[in-house]
Amino acid sequence: MAHEQHNYLNHQKGIWSWLTTLDHKRIGIMYFVAIMSFFFLGGVFALLVRAELFTPGKTLFSADVYNRMMTYHGAIMVFMVIVPGIPAIFGNFVLPIMIGAKDVAFPRLNLMSWYMLMIGAMITGSTLFMQNVDTGWTFYTPYSSIKTGMGVIPMVLGVFIIGFSSILTGLNFIVTTHKLRAPGMTMNRIPLMVWALYSTAILQVLATPVLAITLLLLIAEKALGVGIFDPQLGGDPVLFQHFFWFYSHPAVYIMILPAMGVISELVATYSRKVIFGYTAIAYSSLAIAGVSFLVWGHHMFVSGQSEFAGILFSFITMLVGVPTAIKLFNWISTMYKGSIRLDAPMLFAIGFMFLFTIGGLTGVYLASTGMDVHFHDTYFVVAHFHYVMVGGTLMALMGALIYWFPKVTGKIYSDLLGRIAWVFIFTGFNVTFFPQFILGNMGMPRRYYDYLPTFTELNQMSTFGSWLIGTGFLVGLFGVFHALLKGKEAGNNPFGGKTLEWTIPSPPPHENFDKTPVISGGPYEYR
């Protein structure tokens, strides 16, 4: 029986053994608990923001309270949920197992990364009780540096520390992938999830320091009056945007690449078929990572930067569309002549492709300079990035949760509950965010507390959709408790996966493998 076995969950006992653990699997679970708590908080803020927008004028809160909720919703979701989400939780759990390693390269650094996320989150979160921040998650100067309260300083200090958590995790994954692969596992035999995490890690290590420096400069200006971004002190307000997006555009791919890795695994397993175009998917991840460094200026077509800069950034941005399209074509081709089962994780994968296609195609609108001028900073943009980031990342996160749940806990997540959650989340996303494209067409700007009466019906539809999403995630959460208490015993490989984690017991033993595996073929050999 599985629960009598010696595994990583019963290897040591007590809360202290968890808080000092160096086991990547336990750290993954600690990330899961932490990030899901942040997700709950960010979700509550989202529901409140949408509730306020149910009618024009004041519905529940004053404009100041609304602006703060909008800020915390964005900052929590971006910095504490979607950026660390899949790499920190599932990357930590499966990456070493997928390449046949006993742990990550630097287990202590891995634990430290978790603590840095917690410390950063606490400092950022403390501003909720002391001095609320109302800048939006982008902290644009000079509003953040001269026009609002000092709460901005602890807020960005927290984000700065969270950034280091991200850098250290990335560093750990790069070294692990390079140094700890099992014998025979060449780079062209690693699972696509590992390729995605590896590409993400490169972005984390190279881009995040720029955010750190930017936030330090912001603190220097606000606390010490050093003129960097504030024109009254001789600074340049647009400089902040260049710095900020130099990180935050690659960050979009830090959010979406791991999700793409998850989708590659799910599509292969549930189609029971060798992945189509392994090399293309793997190298397109690297291509996306590389090009994404050169596109930050597409956030600034109307900022007053030169027309030439706008055109150049538009051109490079278009190039990102190609590797992204390649991935979609590859996943769909993997399903061709497959043996497809529509279990809950596959439904989430299909939902991902549906929402991500809409998000990606509308991204082309925004990459085109002449069109972007109309849509920039309207609800069209809000809809677009929620389709990509939320529809994409959170769909993948739910799929990953149900797919790897048996491996992590030894219990099977109820497929029925997974499907019910999917119906609510998928329908809810479309009901919430599709009307926002139309609001953008009509010209409703984003971050608005109050709006013209002509925008009312579409906003109400959107708010209604947010309740569906909320319900879906509550069902998903219920599924976790249900599976822990009443879930069926999983066995080693309940879904017929081919990657290495399915060759070891569920839950895995303390050091993953009794005997180091030797690899002699690709990761998805369904023959």
By the rule CB under 8 A, 107 interacts with other proteins: no
Separation between Cα atoms, residue 294 and residue 496, nearest integer Å: 40
Residues 119-138 that bind other proteins (CB under 8 A): 134-136
Residues 154-183 that bind other proteins (CB under 8 A): none
Separation between Cα atoms, residue 363 and residue 317, nearest integer Å: 9
CB atoms within 10 A of CB 213: 15
Separation between Cα atoms, residue 431 and residue 426, nearest integer Å: 9
Q: Which residue's CB is nearer to other proteins, number 93 or number 301?
A: 301
Does an H or E element contain 288, and which? helix 278-291
Enter the tokens of residue 517. Answer: 């595996």
CA torsion 44→48→51→55, rounded to 10°? -160
Q: What Cα–Cα distance (Å) separates residue 517 from each residue in 26, 164, 330, 496, 501?
A: 22, 33, 29, 18, 11
Convert residues 199-218 into a mask of x (bound to other proteins by CB under 8 A) and - (unbound). --------------------
Q: Which residue's CB is nearer to other proteins, number 116 or number 156?
A: 156
Residue 489 φ/ψ, nearest 5 degrees: -65, 140
Q: How far is the CB of 269 from other proteins (least distance, A)?
A: 11
By the rule CB under 8 A, 369 interacts with other proteins: yes
By the rule CB under 8 A, 505 interacts with other proteins: no
Q: Do 207 and 293 form a contact (C-beta atoms < 8 A)?
A: yes
Q: What Cα–Cα distance (Å) separates residue 148 from each residue in 122, 144, 350?
A: 21, 6, 43
Of 20, 374, 484, 520, the one binding other proteins (CB under 8 A) is: 374
The DSSP secondary-structure symbol of 233 reads G
Q: How far is the CB of 507 from other proteins (least distance, A)?
A: 26
Single out the segment in contact with other proteins by CB under 8 A; choices: 42-50, 198-206, 371-379, 483-491.
371-379
Convert residues 317-336 into a mask of x (bound to other proteins by CB under 8 A) and - (unbound). -xx-xx--xx-xx--xx-xx
Token pair 């595994």 is found at: 7
By the rule CB under 8 A, 56 interacts with other proteins: yes
Of 253, 448, 473, 502, the one binding other proteins (CB under 8 A) is: 448
Q: Which residue's CB is nearer to other proteins, number 408 or number 412?
A: 412
Q: How far is the CB of 179 from other proteins (least distance, A)?
A: 28
Separation between Cα atoms, residue 97 and residue 197, nearest integer Å: 13
Of 118, 171, 239, 340, the one binding other proteins (CB under 8 A) is: 340
By the rule CB under 8 A, 67 interacts with other proteins: yes
Size of the site for other proteins (CB under 8 A): 94
Residues 216-235 that bind other proteins (CB under 8 A): 231-232
Of 122, 216, 373, 416, the one binding other proteins (CB under 8 A) is: 373
